[in-house]
Amino acid sequence: MRPPSACLFDLDGLLLDTEPLHARAWQAAAAHFGLELAAGRLLALRGRRRLECAQQVIAWMREAGVVAPSVAALLAVRQPIADALMPAARPMPGARQLVETLVQAEVPMALVTSSSRAAVALKAAPHPWLAAITSRVHGDDPELAAGKPEPDPYLLAARRLGVAASDCWAFEDSPAGARSASGAGCRVHVLLPQDDPITRIVLQQLPEGCELLQSLEAVTLG
């Protein structure tokens, strides 16, 4: 296996165990307005930008006949809940060790996340090891034309590192993120969730050619 020219990492659910916290925040906000969010719908929100998630939740409310709030009103309920939860997020097993291994091997890295710059700063503050990933594409990046599942975030990250996307390894945990990385031409590694029902749904939605991981501890550079 040829070593990567660069490694491109998602953040939520990949390097930090934030997805259960995001789910709690979206469930609480939706329930506040009268909609219960099941596991399949929560999975559909993974990997996508906050505004797009809010628009999707509102669309589900309208489909269910629930009086839907504005995007601003929904986020005004959801965001304080999320902000209070995120600093408690722990690293995913093997995440810190993988980043440190890549630093030692002098493999360039970039963070490719749908989270805003401010949200990443909040989540990363308890984890100084993330500072090693200095190149970052955020969901609110002014150079980003479209978010995941479009290929734009990964193409932008590769361009900033000065490498071809096809020579990069991308690490994702969501179908939306995997489609984004695959569309950019990256070699895609998908960290599967530990929840068996969710894993089955994820597997059904992944693009072809993804390499599946049970843990980041299993990653080797070839």
Q: How far apart are CA 128 and CA 71, in angstroms?
A: 33
Q: Do domains 6-17+90-218 and 19-87 have the same CATH topology?
A: no
10-residue stretch averages of pLDDT, the chain, 222 residues long: 91 94 96 94 90 96 96 97 94 97 97 95 96 97 96 98 98 96 98 80 91 94 78
Which residues contact residue 190 at a Cβ distance below 8 angstroms, ignoring those fewer than 6 apart?
172, 173, 178, 202, 206, 210, 211, 212, 213
- Looking at residue 4, its pLDDT comes to 96
Q: Classify domain 6-17+90-218 by CATH number.
A: 3.40.50.1000
Does the annotation mark 152 as catalytic?
A: no
- Looking at residue 202, its pLDDT comes to 85
Find the distance separating the first CA and the last CA of the chain, reported in whole Å: 5
Catalytic residue among 12, 141, 152, 173: 12
Does the annotation mark 12 as catalytic?
A: yes
What is the layout of strands, in order, in the sheet containing 211-213?
135-137, 109-112, 6-9, 168-172, 187-191, 211-213
Q: Classify domain 19-87 by CATH number.
A: 1.10.150
Residues 210, 189 contacting (CB under 8 angstroms): yes
- Looking at residue 197, its pLDDT comes to 74
- Looking at residue 78, its pLDDT comes to 97
- Looking at residue 143, its pLDDT comes to 96
171 is written with which tokens? Answer: 């690490």
Domain regions of the chain by residue span: 6-17+90-218, 19-87
- Looking at residue 2, its pLDDT comes to 78
Catalytic residue among 10, 141, 152, 173: 10
- Looking at residue 1, its pLDDT comes to 62
Ranges of H-type helices in the chain: 19-32, 39-45, 50-63, 71-85, 95-104, 117-124, 152-161, 175-184, 196-205
pTM of the model: 0.87
